[in-house]
A and B are shown apart, each in its own frame.
Chain A
């Protein structure tokens, strides 16, 4: 059974792993608001900041040019740096990129690698815990939006989403609707209906 838990809620008498859980005095407790599934023993956070992990793709923009690389702003409190060693094309301040996290150090400072320049378009920001909902199972939700709007959409794990071409307005509204209703059921069908009606509710 799934139920809503809040910080300090006792989850189990054993050590559980995963995000938003802590272990103290022989029991595991929730540290975040989220769903807890008794059988799976996993807490799914409903709110929370992005936790950088190696291999994640982040959307951000170049905020400063350094002698050996670029400082990237991804909306995180952490310093984010990308070395210019591995690629030729120079970037400019304000360029939007998507890049992979190569390393996260003990201060949670991030170094990025393999950037792809995203030309034109707009960036919208949503809560990072809602990103899996925007992508959907095996990318189904994202594919549905792309097909209905003809837009090119790139989703970063940090909750920044780049949208370009097609019906950008409808794609933006659909994504913001997913964010607002991420915790409700039957969302895929409702978004399909929303897109079919061209955003009329």
Chain B
């Protein structure tokens, strides 16, 4: 990623390399409750990204000295599988990148999970990226929030994450891998749709204030669509329920 407009043309006639408009997301599908041993799980396919999340807990906090008598400990582990991608992203963790992403996802999720209900306990979220194609942290957060709901962990909201970016000098939504690599900026944003709280905001590359506000606007318009798919995945998981 560079601040200079690269030679590679990423937008031609208002369409991006994969034919999308500037404010169009890649196709997203979510499935909840696919792992039977975990308390909750979810699988997300977002474009070429494939992400599985599993949640265990609340369970005994190990190691014991990490236990907090005021709230549960939320542990998030984000890793890429060794076969996730062609380049250095494909190294399986724990490496510098996966440790950072685990940390930002944990901090985003701990704003909505009601940790104070389970003192001295621990909630584990495991996120495995099976195939990576740009924007995996957003896909990981979407998967983790559905998996937490599926595990019956009390939450104030189902967080939603979408990335915006700048390619060829234009702001666009949900950058793919080529756009990430040859674009000028990438801004993943996570939102709690109920009250509009921003849970995660990172910016790789530079944007002007006007550009940033436009990026935020795109993300806020896309968030309800992601939220609907999350709700649909959970409803699908309990199909035929509540007729009696």
Contact = CB atoms under 8 A, between A and B. Distances in A.
Interface stretch (B77-85, B116-124, B204-212): B116-124
A20 B235 contact: no
B226 to A, nearest CB: 13
A186 B244 contact: yes
Interface string A1-34: 0111011101000000000101010000101110
> Taking chain A's interface residues, is the majority helix, strand, or loop, or is none over half, making it mixed?
loop
Contacts of A183: 238, 240-242
For the complex of A and B, list the 4 residue pairs with the smallest distance between their C-beta atoms, beginning with the closest.
Answer: A47-B152, A48-B152, A77-B121, A8-B157
Contact of A6 (B40, B72, B231, B243): B231
Contacts of B101: none
Contacts, number: 102
A32 B120 CA distance: 21
Interface residues of B, number: 39
A184 B156 contact: no
B243 A4 contact: no
Interface of A: 2-4, 6-8, 10, 20, 22, 24, 29, 31-33, 35, 45-49, 77-79, 106-108, 127, 129, 183-187
27 contacts: A2-B242, A6-B149, A6-B231, A7-B154, A7-B156, A8-B155, A8-B156, A8-B193, A20-B154, A22-B114, A22-B156, A31-B114, A32-B149, A33-B234, A35-B242, A47-B150, A48-B152, A49-B58, A77-B72, A77-B122, A78-B120, A78-B121, A106-B119, A108-B120, A127-B152, A185-B242, A187-B244
Nearest to A188: B244
A7 B157 contact: yes
Nearest to A79: B120
Contacts of A4: 234-235, 238, 241-242
B59 A77 contact: yes
Contact of B61 (A33, A47, A77, A108): A77
Contact of A185 (B58, B60, B158, B240): B240
Interface of B: 39-40, 57-61, 69, 72, 112, 114, 118-122, 149-158, 192-194, 230-231, 234-235, 238, 240-244
B60 A77 contact: yes
Contacts of B242: 2-4, 35, 183, 185
A124 to B, nearest CB: 15
